[in-house]
Structures are given as C-alpha cells and as structure tokens.
Structure 1
Amino acid sequence: MNTIVSALPKDTNVLASLEIRSESYWGYSSDFMDRFKEIYLITEEFILNNPTYILKDDETIIGFYGILLNDDEVSLEYLFIEPMYIGKGYGKMLWNHALEECKKLGIKEFTIITSPDAREFYLRLGATIFTQVDSLISQGNKTPKLIYRL
C-alpha cells in the first residue's frame, strides 16, 4: 500500500542516502558525486521549513520530494526515487502530490533546476524550459532551469 507522508527531521539521513543513490543512478563520476553531496544534500533545516514528503510502500521508502519556499521564487528542490523504482510511475505519483500541495499553498508556479538526465521527465509532465544556469557542480557547464505554471 503506497502512502505519502510528511518528512520529519529524523528522516534526514535516510533521505540523504536515498538522494545519493538516486543521483548516482545516472552514472556520474565520483568527483561529481562528491561535489553533489557538498551542495545538494537535504538537511534537517530544509525539512523543518519547507513542505517535504516521503512516498512509502508499507515501511519501504520509495522516494521523496521537497518544495523550497522563499520570497524570491518557489522551487521543486528535491524529487528523488530509489533506483530500483525509477521508471515505474513513482516519480509521477510524487509530482502529482507536489502539484496538489502547491495548490493548497496558493503557489501559482515553481522552478526546477535539474540535471540533463531528468529534464525530459519534467518536460513530459508539463514543465517548460525557462533558462540555463551555471552548474554549481561542473564549472563552466550550464544546467537547465525549468518552470511549471499551475
């Protein structure tokens, strides 16, 4: 039975581990992954201050997402799936939950800075390319910044 529940600060380490496994799925180098861990790992502070949800099947964590709420712009900061569940519809399940959460919060649009590997997933779900931004991981490279309007 799949359920989506609010993340708690005590979930931080298990979600960070899932995040690393999910990002590693795309075959990035160890240098890339070391930099990724320094910059992008979810924190207790993020979970305390932003809507963050976990998709579970009984007690097995399948994936999670987090929406960064700030004054400048709202962004889908995290959406990660355990590698063995990628491509089975769980990402879309979390996406749909995130859209409902945005509607409840009165959010009209949000941005997504994503890897080129995940870009197509978001485009299929209705996000559009907004711009390119400098990669925080790969100096001199650009990464897609998408926008989704509800």
Structure 2
Amino acid sequence: MAPNLPGQEGRYARSGSRTERQRPVPARRRSPRLRHNGRVRFLIRPARPDEATELTELALRSKGHWGYDTEFLARCRTELTLTPADVTARHVAVAERDGRVVGLVVLASTPPELELDMLFVDPPAIGTGAGRVLFDHAVAASRAAGARTLWIEADPGAEAFYRHVGAVLTGTCVSPSTGRTLPRLRYDL
C-alpha cells in the first residue's frame, strides 16, 4: 500500500483538475476519528485500489453535475480516470457516508507547494458538507506534510466553493483535456 499524507488515514471528518501524476509524500498511520458538519457524519479514509473504477465514475458524475454534455465528459475521461496503480501510488482519500463513498480528494506534488489534483462529490451528496470535509482534510494533510501552499485548478462551476473556503484567484490555466480556460486559485496554509 502506498504511503498516505498525515491525516489521510481512515477517520471521520465533517463537512479539480489533474495536472501530472506525481509521487506521494510519506505519512504515518492514524486511527479513525469522528468528525461531522453538525448535520452529517463522514468517514475520511484512504481509497483502496479496487475502488479506482468507482472513483472514476464518481468524478465523471460530479463533473456532469455542472451541465456538461456527454461529448465534453468523454474528453475529460482520461484526465479524471484513476487506476488501481494511481490509488496505490498517489494521495487518494474518500469520504464515506453510511458505508457509501460520496466523494474523493487527490493531492499531488511535493511540499512546500501541493496541488489539489481532484476533489469531487457525488451529485446526491452535493450540499451536505462532503466537499468542505474533503477540502478541510486536504488542508490538514497538506499542512502535516509541510506544505505552505495548496494550488487549485478549478472547474468554473466550483470556483465559488473554493473562494468560499478561503482560496484566492491568482490567474487562469488551460485544461489539458478540453482546452478551456480554468480559474487557478491559491490557498495559503
């Protein structure tokens, strides 16, 4: 099993865009912790390699929430695909509610600057706080790994969420899969 960022290990917590695949930052294991947003409880735990296909489909459903057509989503598939090897080698954590995966987060790069490579919430769980729990997890794990900055290449539909949690727009970038201009945000840790 791949090393995980500190805080990524199975724990309960309360309530992107991929650039290049990079090696994870080693971490230590922790026991599960209960956290919630006052309404819903989520278990944050490392993803398992056998969940790669399920996580890919969740990411595509989440991307589709923003009204993209099937042709657009097909162009995004490669960028949003996680393989068992990715899950083993990268920092991939999931949010579970009632034993069902409702979201995922992937961190990439190495400190002092990390990339929020993916953060997706299954459409039925949008608005429950799962995205905030996953973002808070990414922030805690990044800090524990020694990072000072978390970079985010966001879907335009998710920009407001990232600004709400404190990220600052720094410019734009071009999506490698679609050629669209995306907001690039920075979250100082």
Which runs of 5 or more structure 1 residues have no equivalent in the other structure? none
1:58-80, Cα deviation, whole Å (9 max, x unpaired): 32111110101247952001111
Name the one with the larger helix percent: 1
1:97 corresponds to which residue? 137
Contact 2:107 2:116 in 1 (8 A): yes
Whole-angstrom distance in 2 between the partners of 1:110 and 1:19: 20
2:153 corresponds to which residue? 113
2:88 corresponds to which residue? 48
Question: Over the residues paired in the alignment, what is the CA RMSD in angstroms?
Answer: 1.7
Higher relative contact order (CA 8 A, sep 6+): 2
2:69 corresponds to which residue? 29
Contact 2:49 2:85 in 1 (8 A): yes
Contact 2:111 2:146 in 1 (8 A): no
1:143 corresponds to which residue? 182
Corresponding pairs, count = 149
Query: Would you identify which runs of 4 or more consecutive aligned residues in structure 1 move more than 4 Å?
Result: 70-73
Whole-angstrom distance in 2 between the partners of 1:137 and 1:124: 26
Cα shift at 1:125 = 0.5
Whole-angstrom distance in 2 between the partners of 1:75 and 1:126: 15
Whole-angstrom distance in 2 between the partners of 1:70 and 1:136: 21
- 3-state DSSP of counterpart to 1:56: strand
Instruction: Letter of the 2:171 partner, please give it.
Output: T
1:71-96, Cα deviation, whole Å (9 max, x unpaired): 79520011111101101211101111
Whole-angstrom distance in 1 between the partners of 2:169 and 2:79: 23
1:68-83 matched pairs, under 5 angstroms? 68-70=108-110, 73-83=113-123
Whole-angstrom distance in 1 between the partners of 2:184 and 2:74: 22
1:60 corresponds to which residue? 100
Whole-angstrom distance in 2 between the partners of 1:9 and 1:73: 26
Whole-angstrom distance in 2 between the partners of 1:48 and 1:119: 29
Whole-angstrom distance in 2 between the partners of 1:6 and 1:82: 17
Which runs of 5 or more structure 2 residues have no equivalent in the other structure? 1-40
Contact 1:9 1:47 in 2 (8 A): yes
Cα shift at 1:128 = 0.7
Q: Sequence identity of aligned pairs in percent?
A: 27
Contact 2:76 2:178 in 1 (8 A): no
